[in-house]
Amino acid sequence: MTRRLALFDCDGTLVDGQAGVVNAMEASFTELGLPAPDRHQVRRIVGLSLPQAIRLLAPDTNEAIRAELDAAYRRIFRAARESGQLVEPLYDGIAELVGDLAAESWVLGVATGKSQRGLEHCLATHGLTAHFATLQTADHHPSKPHPSMVETALTETGVEARHCTMIGDTQFDMAMAVNAGVRAIGVDWGYHTVEELLEAGAEAVATSPAHLKELLQ
């Protein structure tokens, strides 16, 4: 039987994590006495690794300031998570989709700009941990769209690239899939537009988890 890998982005694909990211980013900039970035721009960088995101949001700052922003963000975000204030709800239909794919013997994985600790907390909160065989995070890889996350997931699972689909809501996810030589499917409930997803290499864009399941068949 052919082993098939469905590799999901997390924020904007499995869960709506924008509020936590936006709040922590605003608080980090404020703490350092910098103007808070526009909320729309913060949502646009969800999915990138934190250092890359900060470079885009604070291009006129030096490396030392960016390092302070990085440390402040990590501390503020972690405090919100540990205090129970972080809200990262699953999108409607995602739990059912994950369960259905697992029941159909899909190998499931995540490739995300989150930290390992953040991803593990998120999946555990929603009772999804057991469904995922490979977790690739920003702790161990270059930022998307570098193909490292996908390539490592393929190696860990033993799935061939031609049987892997990367699923995500941003152009970074689609470009990563293209760079890794795997199928790319976008979702329209996240943070980038359908047009951006298609331009970045998406074969198709799902309009719901049920539609996504159809596209995966």
| Domains of the chain, first to last | 5-16+88-216 (3.40.50.1000), 18-82 (1.10.150.240)
Residues labelled catalytic:
9, 11
19 Cβ partners below 8 Å, 6+ apart? 87
Q: What is the pLDDT of residues 6-43, one digit of tens each?
A: 999 999 999 998 888 899 999 999 999 999 999 989 98
Q: Given the structure tokens 């936590």, which residue do they identify?
A: 20
- The whole-number average pLDDT for the span 147-170 is 98
State the average pLDDT for the chain: 95
CA distance 53 to 108: 26
Asked if residues 189 and 43 have their Cβ atoms less than 8 Å apart, the reply is no
Q: What is the pLDDT of residues 106-135, one digit of tens each?
A: 999 999 999 999 999 999 999 999 999 999
- The pair of three-digit structure tokens given for residue 91, joined into one six-digit string: 């999108």
Q: Answer whether residue 152 shows pLDDT above 80.
A: yes
CA distance 50 to 73: 9
Please, what's the largest Cα pairwise distance for the chain? 57
Residue 84 pLDDT: 87
Q: What is the pLDDT of residues 177-210, one digit of tens each?
A: 999 999 999 999 999 999 999 999 999 999 999 9
Closest by CA position to 33, among listed 53, 56, 59, 61: 61
